[in-house]
Amino acid sequence: MEYNSQIASFSEMTSVISLKAIDLNFDIILDDIVDLQSYCDALIQKVFELPYTDYPDFISYQTNLVKNPIFWLNHFEELISNNEDLFTGKRSLCRYNKLFNLIESKRKELQSSSVKESKLNTPKRLINADTEDRYFSFHETKLQIEKLECFNEKIIFLTEEIFDYEEADIISKNGNLGEFNLQCEKLKVRLQTTRKLLLDIEKEKQETILKGNSEIKPTFKIRINGPINILTDVYKQMMYSSKSSGKSYINHSIKDITKFICDNHLDEQGNELSQHTIRTYLSPTRCDKDPNNDNKIRL
């Protein structure tokens, strides 16, 4: 049975192609399109295919495939929650409740192992504050942030750490270090400011490229073998002579036409044209600059 699920924002997808599958029961196999929708659909399908007893091993197997298992569990929990309406009936509701319990249990297990591992490596002088079940170290938090590649995950991680600290029952604090939550908040602001600056720089760079492209003059220019006012007079006729509809043949300003002529033509000697001269020739009040009747091209 195929499922069209409501997606969750997975930053790491654990899917593999059939040829690289190691465990057909636990691997998420996608041979065709690999995107967030197909991955979420395959995960939901796997949830309904597996027997209850395989859920713990399946969750452990999947979390071993990702760099940040806690984030993956959070997104998996989000996926199950977003698709609550698929778990109808007594048996499906049992699956739903069991998954939530196992996800929470696995998350606590991972958090606990992370704390134990950190306690072996983090000197007491780098711990900001202690509680009964964990401690808060801004030094460790910074190291964890550096491991995360996604900007949004960094902000989410810092936000969760701030909330955990502010809700925790602090037993002791290191007077030589700053307040943990304030240090995290400062790092959040720094990350957000740096990201905005990088985006602004990239935007300015793209705008400069686009502006440069729009101002690139053509490499091929037409040489006019005769007085330039013959050419400008042709444009004057199209600019100021009206058709039967009352509209002129060319509805552009003198400035625009001047730029166009200078960008696309050269004089008899192959020299660039003077914009000041061309603008004067195009002026409707400077009839003295028009060619005489022998040289005039009439449209």
Q: Give the contacts of 75 (CB within 8 A, at least 6 positions apart).
A: 8, 9, 10, 11
pLDDT interval class at 112 (50, 70, 90): confident
Per-residue pLDDT tens digits for 62-80? 999 988 899 999 999 999 9
Per-residue pLDDT, 277: 92
**Mean pLDDT, rounded, for 151-173:** 92
pLDDT for 38: 92
pTM of the model: 0.43
**Boundaries of every domain in the chain:** 15-120, 122-214, 222-289
The full 3-state SS of the chain, as one line of letters, equals: CCCCCCCCCCCCCCEECHHHCCCCCCCEECCCCCCHHHHHHHHHHHHHHCCHHHHHHHHHHHHCCCCCHHHHHHHHHHHHHHCHHHCCCHHHHHHHHHHHHHHHHHHHHHHHHHHHHHHHHCCHHHCCEECCCCEECHHHHHHHHHHCCCHHHHHHHHHHHHHHHHHCCCCEECCCCCCHHHHHHHHHHHHHHHHHHHHHHHHHHHHHHHHHHHHCCCCCCEECCCCHHHHHHHHHHHHHCECCCCCECCCCCHHHHHHHHHHHEECCCCCECCHHHHHHHHCCCCHHHCCCCCCCCCC
Q: Indicate the average pLDDT of the chain.
A: 87
Has residue 299 got a pLDDT over 80?
A: no
Q: Give the CA angle between residues 21, 23, 25 to the nearest 5°.
A: 115
Give the pLDDT score at 214. Answer: 65
- pLDDT of 119 strictly over 70: no
CA distances from 128 to 28, 118, 154 (A): 41, 14, 20
| pLDDT confidence bin for 197, thresholds 50/70/90 | very high
pLDDT > 80? residue 216: no
Confidence of residue 285 (pLDDT cuts 50, 70, 90): confident
Give 141's pLDDT tier (boundaries 50, 70, 90). Answer: very high
Give the pLDDT band of residue 173 (cuts 50, 70, 90): very high
